[in-house]
Structure 1
């Protein structure tokens, strides 16, 4: 009763915070922020925010943990796990900067039921309700078109160029279907590390240059093939409420900004959601796009399916979702694009051969850096890549 009574008051307080947190996507890609509007309400401190997915695609499952303190503070050193509630199998996740990942080869299967849980360093425990993974639906007829004005960026105060991806939704007539689309993109990296202010790259970090006091910047080429991985930061969902059993053609499901002019592979993912998961993402989408207002329904879906088993009155924002997915990899050739990319690249300058090791009369110039396999970088050629 207490939760229901305070829900509208909570929405008033958390709406500006949710706008700021989710408009600055840190988990899914390198930081891409939209300028936040000055909030009208005080922020709530230390609310726990959870964003977790178990998927049938390798490399897609994750958990992101943060708090409302200072808008978006990653929760470090938590103990996080997935549980298969059919078999009691426990999958432990490792985390860096609030992002927790299962083993690289982890996948769930259609028909399985999963939940997640975590314990904070202070001992507080949180759990989710269990969700059953629905049958996946294939991606139909994906098409890519380039636009000089893909969407308007509040940060840059300009229209951003890029590629739009549309698909046909071939809906089944015998069941309700809820769709969610996401993607990650892979672009070839030429430079794997840069040091500025006169620093040089040694043993995996930028250090003082004993031979120089200049403020030059140095670039270090990748020592192997390497791809930068970016993640989507927009919510694209669809319900078959008004199109059950029919084909919806040319539905826009992804905007791929022109961050650079490097060719890319876009791994498009189509998720099958439960009705409760769809309602959660629908409210979140409304908040992000600022179409909602303070007379909107109480944020029950925003609170989602996470809870503190030791404190029934604690609000836990966010959601855990178990979902099947289908995917397709699309190669985009950007050779003939004339518009300027979003990111401005630094001039490439390598170390010169006049650097000698202290106390030794030998050249110790470094020209290369390794690929450093991570969530945002890989040396494994992505599916669909074309040289």
Structure 2
């Protein structure tokens, strides 16, 4: 008999991501100092000019620390594009931020003895060769050496399978997105549900992530200034306006999931699962469609427990933007110094991906949220006004996504 998943999302928000994903059941305490630790998850993608959609995105976590702490996140996948992010969580005295750790020597070691070197493709992001794919049933371990000579390695992670996504459906939710205190409606949403068959013969743990392509016409906002050439120049005025400028070509914003969505199959017992809520997509346009890419990952028990703890901590603060109270130590260690704590997680996950075109024009009178975050204010002092390039980045692309209608 099919298992019907209640259409209620466990909200563990963070990112426009820029994640997320991770765990441990204790407060993070250093030997020398007792620290107040809260974590903020940021999705880092090893974007390449070719095959942007193929990358398996690591979760990059920023922590509120009183010292510098190493942060490592990534997955080996049976799909193309395995990436790992290595960062330093820093405290400047005024703010907390994550700084990419460059020039590491990194590799992935498989249980069969093979070694795959990783190349730094973006600052702090290390990518496997395009031909590399993990194999179900194989174990994988991350090993890397920092520029100052410290050596780190993860525990060995078993890559387990995950079933195919059988079906996707959508449903209009007029009051879908609420503010941080859960009272005011920010936007209507299109809620996305999927069906799959949980295998009977094995124990399974799941994680769902998504990436959204929204067409964007504004490529830069000059705060208190105007665009001159490709630079924003400040306006000499007591009350300068903020001006928006069109993109010079067709452009898309990339938006990532900001919740941790996991499932232990003890709740579904090897049966068919229908109506699993995986995404709540706001109405950034009242009628324009958008393209959603969904990933269903099969996790190890250790990885599931890591995300479960991160999810639990995030719920205590409301969202992942409101960082949890404790940094979460994962499965990466300094091989020569047990007191050198490392946050984040390196795992192995079988991945099933599917693209879905969301139709919005079938719904009437939705509550719309600005894609820019503010009403558009175009400069009209010159005609035609200047435009700005659609620059390829983690959050924006001029490359037409496959499946765009």
TM-score, scaled relative to structure 2: 0.72
Kindly indicate whether residue 162 of structure 2 is the aligned counterpart of residue 146 of structure 1: no
Partner of 1:173: 200
Structure 1 residue aligned with 2:377, among 339, 347, 356?
A: 347
Q: CA deviation at 1:238?
A: 0.7
Structure 1 residue aligned with 2:387, among 365, 368, 381?
A: 368
Partner of 1:357: none
Q: Which runs of 5+ in 2 are unaligned?
A: 1-24, 46-63, 319-324
Partner of 2:58: none
> 2:265 & 2:327 partners in 1: Cα distance?
19
Q: CA deviation at 1:374?
A: 1.5
Counterpart contact for 1:266–1:330, Cα < 8 Å: yes
Q: CA deviation at 1:349?
A: 2.5
* SS in structure 2 at match of 1:276: helix
Counterpart contact for 1:263–1:334, Cα < 8 Å: yes
Kindly indicate whether residue 42 of structure 2 is the aligned counterpart of residue 17 of structure 1: no
Instruction: Select the structure of larger CA radius of gyration.
Output: 1
Partner of 2:265: 240
When structure 1 is superposed on structure 2, of 66-75 and 373-382 the one drifting more is 66-75
Partner of 2:72: 50
Partner of 1:31: none
Q: CA deviation at 1:107?
A: 5.3
Partner deviation per Cα, 1:250-292 (whole Å, 9 max, x = no partner):
1222222344545321101100111111111111111111299
C-alpha distance 313-144 of structure 1, shift in aligned 2 (>3 A): same
C-alpha distance 368-8 of structure 1, shift in aligned 2 (>3 A): closer
* SS in structure 1 at match of 2:225: coil
C-alpha distance 26-72 of structure 1, shift in aligned 2 (>3 A): farther
Counterpart contact for 2:173–2:190, Cα < 8 Å: yes
Q: Which runs of 5+ in 1 are unaligned?
A: 1-6, 29-41, 293-298, 354-364
C-alpha distance 110-9 of structure 1, shift in aligned 2 (>3 A): closer
When structure 1 is superposed on structure 2, of 270-279 and 339-348 the one drifting more is 339-348
Q: CA deviation at 1:124?
A: 3.8
Partner deviation per Cα, 1:234-257 (whole Å, 9 max, x = no partner):
000111124222112212222223
Counterpart contact for 1:55–1:107, Cα < 8 Å: no
Higher RCO structure (Cα 8 Å, ≥6 apart): 2
> 2:175 & 2:234 partners in 1: Cα distance?
43
> 1:193 & 1:8 partners in 2: Cα distance?
43
Superposed, 1:265-276 pairs within 5 Å as 265-276=291-302
Structure 2 residue aligned with 1:90, among 117, 123, 131?
A: 117
Q: How many aligned positions are there? A: 342
C-alpha distance 345-125 of structure 1, shift in aligned 2 (>3 A): farther
When structure 1 is superposed on structure 2, of 260-269 and 137-146 the one drifting more is 260-269
TM-score, scaled relative to structure 1: 0.75
> 2:242 & 2:69 partners in 1: Cα distance?
41
Normalized per residue, the structure richer in helix is 1
* SS in structure 2 at match of 1:278: helix
> 2:125 & 2:391 partners in 1: Cα distance?
18
Counterpart contact for 1:78–1:118, Cα < 8 Å: no
Counterpart contact for 1:49–1:68, Cα < 8 Å: no
Partner deviation per Cα, 1:68-87 (whole Å, 9 max, x = no partner):
63674212342343424342
> 1:226 & 1:130 partners in 2: Cα distance?
41
Partner of 2:189: 162
Superposed, 1:45-84 pairs within 5 Å as 45-58=67-80, 61-63=83-85, 65-67=87-89, 69=91, 72-80=96-104, 81-84=106-109
C-alpha distance 289-182 of structure 1, shift in aligned 2 (>3 A): same
Superposed, 1:202-213 pairs within 5 Å as 202=229, 204-207=230-233
C-alpha distance 191-26 of structure 1, shift in aligned 2 (>3 A): same
